[in-house]
């Protein structure tokens, strides 16, 4: 992307994060090029899609960041769905965390945000749950999104419709930054550290 204008962005990686960044830049009138080795092999197609700020037991600033992020997701998803005309499968369905004993449950970092489930409630919530799990917390504010089939495809389509260009089959191995206003790539390094020219 040598000699590009200041409103040009090069994104390396066409997975969930790369597409999300490309989408946001393209919506703000940037010219965007995404270099991707193989988008169909990105982690976004195999990740479970849990929105589990509370079920993961996050603490302190990370919990606060997760809560703020999770609150932004519905509006962001709505925007992607409108631009792509593809439903992303956002579900505010809650996530259950099981515990073998009440002491572990009460020591869980986000305990106060969950709804207590006794053994019977836990069995009702998750049919067939192993009987070793005696207690649970239901985090109703958590949920999931269908990353594999819907969100990734919706992001790809929204990006394309917003003018994002994709260069598939690109393997970037290194970036070299020169002391100029524009950056360019002129040598490569493998992800495990071996340098190639």
CATH at residue 183:
3.50.50.60
Q: Are residues 114 and 172 in the same domain?
A: no
Q: Are residues 6 and 54 in the same domain?
A: no
Query: Averaged over 146-159, what is the pLDDT?
Result: 85
Query: Averaged over 71-90, what is the pLDDT?
Result: 94
Task: Kindly report the average pLDDT of the chain as a whole number.
Answer: 84
Mark which of 119, 145, 171 sits at the end of a domain.
145
Domain count, the chain: 2
Q: What is the pLDDT of residue 48?
A: 58
Query: Averaged over 30-48, what is the pLDDT?
Result: 76
Q: Are residues 79 and 38 in the same domain?
A: no
Q: Are residues 131 and 92 in the same domain?
A: yes
Is pLDDT larger for residue 131 or for residue 146? 131
Is pLDDT larger for residue 99 or for residue 4? 99
Q: Are residues 60 and 36 in the same domain?
A: no
User: Which residues have CB under 8 Å from 12's CB, separation 6+?
Assistant: 18, 35, 172, 175
- Name the one residue in this structure whose structure tokens are 């945000």: 113
pTM to 2 decimals?
Answer: 0.75
Q: Are residues 124 and 84 in the same domain?
A: yes
Q: What is the pLDDT of residue 180?
A: 58
Mark which of 128, 145, 162 sits at the end of a domain.
145
- Using CB atoms within 10 A of its CB, is residue 195 exposed (0-12), middle (13-18) or buried (19+)? exposed
Mark which of 102, 124, 145 sits at the end of a domain.
145
Domain that holds residue 78: 50-145
Ordered alpha helix ranges (H), 28-59: none
Q: What is the pLDDT of residue 142?
A: 95
User: Which residues have CB under 8 Å from 138's CB, separation 6+?
Assistant: 94, 95, 96, 114, 115, 117, 125
Residue 188 banded pLDDT, cuts 50, 70, 90: very low
Q: Are residues 36 and 108 in the same domain?
A: no
Q: Are residues 128 and 161 in the same domain?
A: no
Q: Are residues 155 and 138 in the same domain?
A: no
Q: Are residues 64 and 140 in the same domain?
A: yes
| Number of residues that make up the chain | 197
Q: Are residues 173 and 188 in the same domain?
A: yes
Residue 192 banded pLDDT, cuts 50, 70, 90: very low
Phi, psi of 30 (to 5 degrees): -95, 145
Strand order, beta sheet including 95-99:
95-99, 135-139, 115-117
Calculated CA dihedral for residues 172, 84, 16, 6, nearest 10 degrees: 50
Query: Averaged over 143-171, what is the pLDDT?
Result: 87
Phi, psi of 9 (to 5 degrees): -130, 135
Q: Which two tokens stand for residue 166?
A: 């994709």
Structural element, H or E, at residue 105: helix 102-107
Q: Are residues 63 and 133 in the same domain?
A: yes
Q: Which two tokens stand for residue 43?
A: 């982690």
Q: What percent of the chain has pLDDT over 70?
A: 79
Q: Which two tokens stand for residue 36?
A: 């991707």
């Amino acid at each position: 992307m040598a000699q590009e204008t200041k409103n040009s962005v090069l994104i390396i990686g066409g997975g969930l994060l790369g597409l999300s960044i490309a989408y946001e830049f393209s919506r703000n009138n940037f010219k965007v090029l995404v270099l991707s080795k193989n988008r169909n092999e990105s982690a976004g197609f195999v990740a479970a899609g849990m929105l589990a700020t509370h079920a993961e037991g996050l603490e302190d600033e990370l919990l606060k960041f997760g809560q703020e992020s999770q609150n932004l997701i519905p509006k962001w998803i709505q925007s992607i769905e409108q631009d792509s005309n593809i439903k992303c499968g956002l579900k505010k369905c809650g996530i259950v965390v099981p515990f073998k004993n009440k002491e572990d449950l009460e020591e869980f970092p986000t305990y106060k945000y969950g709804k207590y489930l006794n053994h019977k409630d836990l069995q009702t919530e998750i049919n067939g749950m192993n009987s070793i799990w005696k207690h649970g917390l239901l985090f109703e504010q958590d949920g999931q999104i269908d990353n594999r089939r819907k969100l990734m495809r919706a992001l790809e389509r929204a990006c394309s419709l917003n003018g994002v260009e994709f260069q598939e089959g690109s393997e970037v191995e290194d970036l070299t930054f020169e002391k100029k206003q524009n950056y360019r790539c002129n040598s490569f390094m493998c992800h495990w550290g071996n340098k190639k020219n």
